[in-house]
């Protein structure tokens, strides 16, 4: 059994796959990689199925050594990737020889690296998924230096040959996210709803896998009574009594008592996953 020994974790390093959907009625949110497209892409680059578990590495500072040759690929955030001390392209598959190091330096663009290992990270699944749910405390423990992660058996599919970059690195400037109508759009004023679409926003420093708070104008509430808790969906933008919007993300609580006025489209959630605190965000109407 191949093992990947983590020698430095840097910031947050979590095992993530595409999550455990369909369990909200039992109080469990889907969790899973925040940048789902990146995790699926990294998996495809090494011949894994999309839902294989990889590592979600925030910002970098990560170093690991395998005890046997392994294929890896890095997608999502764009930054220095080094294999055995040599620079290696992101968004490409690389063979890491046994005993050689794999390093992810500080990301230059984007925030979350998706690191796939051919065979997948084989930590014990919980409720059908190897994703770490940071709010509920389900799934593999956060990865720290010294941890040895098991790598699963190689899949049948071979490592695909690519001679072009498979994707584009995340933007460093403002991003535009698409919104769908939310169930409680009428709980804020018309002016607030306009401000949501017309104002420039910034990702607050209070952003994690549970939710991403946005800095910008206060969104005035038209209805200020308490809303009985109702089921949430990923991407829902809830507005607090003080008018602060927060985008609910993969590890969100499954019910919430703040009105949800709009919903970020799934493809835009991948973009949001790579936005850094302070980076600009604009919203437009989706489909």
Partner 1 sequence: MSRPVRLLPSGPAALLVEVDGLGDVIALHDALAADAPTGLVELVPAARTLLVAVDPAVLPLETAAGWVRRVASEPVARSSGSADGRTPAPREVLVEVDYRGDDLADTADVLGVSPEHLVARHADAAWRVAFIGFAPGFAYLVADDWPFDVPRLDVARTRVPRGAIGLAAGFSGAYPRESPGGWRLVGRTGAALWDPDADPPALLAPGRTVRFRAVTP
C-alpha to C-alpha distances, 140 to 17, 96, 126, 131, 136, nearest whole angstrom? 11, 24, 8, 7, 12
Under the binding rule (CB under 8 A), the answer on residue 233 touching partner 1 is yes
How far apart are alpha carbons 136 and 253 in whole angstroms? 8
**Cα(34)–Cα(128) distance, rounded to whole angstroms?**
18
Half-sphere exposure of 42 (CA within 13 A, CB side): 36
Q: Which helix (H) or strand (E) holds 136?
A: none
**Residue 127 binds partner 1, judged by CB under 8 A:** yes
State the nearest-atom distance from the C-beta of 249 to partner 1, in Å. 13
- Span near partner 1 by CB under 8 A; candidates 84-92, 115-123, 251-259, 276-284: 251-259
Residue 222 within binding range of partner 1, rule CB under 8 A: no
Residue among 96 and 248 whose Cβ is closer to partner 1? 248
**Binding-site string for partner 1 from residue 23 to residue 52, where x marks contact by CB under 8 A and - marks none:** xxxxxx------------------------
Torsion of the alpha carbons at 215, 218, 221 and 224, rounded to the nearest 10: 80
Q: Output the smallest distance, CB 115 to partner 1, in A.
A: 26
User: How near is the Cβ of 207 to partner 1 at its closest, in Å?
Assistant: 20
Q: Pick from 37, 60, 236, 245: which binds partner 1 (CB under 8 A)? A: 236
Return the structure tokens found at 114. 């998706």
Question: Which of 111, 237 has the CB closer to partner 1?
Answer: 237
Angle separating helix axes 266-273 and 36-45, nearest 10 degrees: 80
Q: Which stretch binds partner 1 (CB under 8 A): 22-30, 99-107, 108-116, 148-156?
A: 22-30
What are 16's strand-pairing partners? 54
Site for partner 1 in 155-194 (CB under 8 A): 180-184
Residue from 22, 97, 146, 160 in contact with partner 1 (CB under 8 A)? 22
**How many C-beta atoms surround the C-beta of residue 6 within 10 A?**
19
Count, residues near partner 1 per rule CB under 8 A: 32
Under 8 Å between Cβ of 113 and 107: yes
Question: Could you give the strand order of the β-sheet that contains 13-16, starting from the edge strand earlier in sequence?
Answer: 13-16, 54-58, 109-117, 70-78, 93-96
The CB-of-252 to partner 1 minimum distance in angstroms stands at 12
Shortest spacing between CB 55 and partner 1, in angstroms: 22
* Residue of 186, 209, 178, 181 whose CA lies nearest to 259: 186
Binding mask 137-156 for partner 1 (x = CB under 8 A): -x------------------
Report which secondary-structure segment, H or E, holds 158: none
Smallest distance, partner 1 to C-beta of residue 285, A? 13
Q: How far is the CB of 282 from partner 1 (least distance, A)?
A: 20
List residues binding partner 1 (CB under 8 A): 21-28, 126-127, 136, 138, 180-184, 228-231, 233-236, 253-255, 260, 263, 265-266
């Amino acid at each position: 059994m191949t093992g990947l020994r983590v020698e430095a974790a840097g910031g947050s390093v979590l095992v993530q796959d595409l999550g455990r959907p369909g369990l909200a009625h039992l109080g469990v949110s889907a969790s899973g990689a925040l940048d789902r497209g990146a995790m699926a892409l990294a998996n495809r680059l090494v011949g894994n199925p999309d839902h294989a578990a990889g590592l979600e590495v925030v910002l970098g500072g990560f170093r690991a050594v395998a005890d046997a040759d392994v294929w890896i690929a890095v997608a999502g955030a764009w930054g220095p990737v080094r294999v055995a001390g040599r620079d290696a392209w992101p968004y490409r598959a690389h063979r890491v020889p046994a005993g050689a190091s794999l390093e992810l330096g500080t990301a230059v663009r984007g925030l979350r690296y998706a690191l796939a290992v051919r065979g997948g990270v084989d930590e014990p699944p919980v409720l059908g998924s190897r994703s770490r749910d940071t709010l509920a405390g389900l799934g593999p423990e956060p990865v720290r230096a010294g941890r040895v992660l098991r790598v699963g058996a190689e899949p049948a599919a071979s490592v695909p040959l690519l001679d072009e970059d498979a994707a584009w690195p995340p933007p460093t400037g403002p991003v535009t996210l698409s919104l769908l109508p939310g169930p409680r759009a009428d709980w804020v004023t018309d002016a607030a709803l306009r401000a949501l679409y017309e104002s420039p926003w910034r990702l607050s420093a209070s952003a994690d896998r549970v939710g991403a708070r946005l800095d910008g104008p206060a969104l005035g509430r038209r209805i200020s009574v308490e809303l009985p808790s109702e089921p949430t969906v990923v991407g829902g933008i809830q507005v607090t009594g003080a008018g602060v919007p927060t985008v609910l993300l993969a590890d969100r609580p499954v019910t919430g008592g703040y009105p949800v006025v709009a919903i970020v489209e799934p493809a835009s959630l991948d973009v949001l996953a790579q936005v850094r605190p302070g980076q600009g965000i604009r919203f437009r109407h989706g489909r």
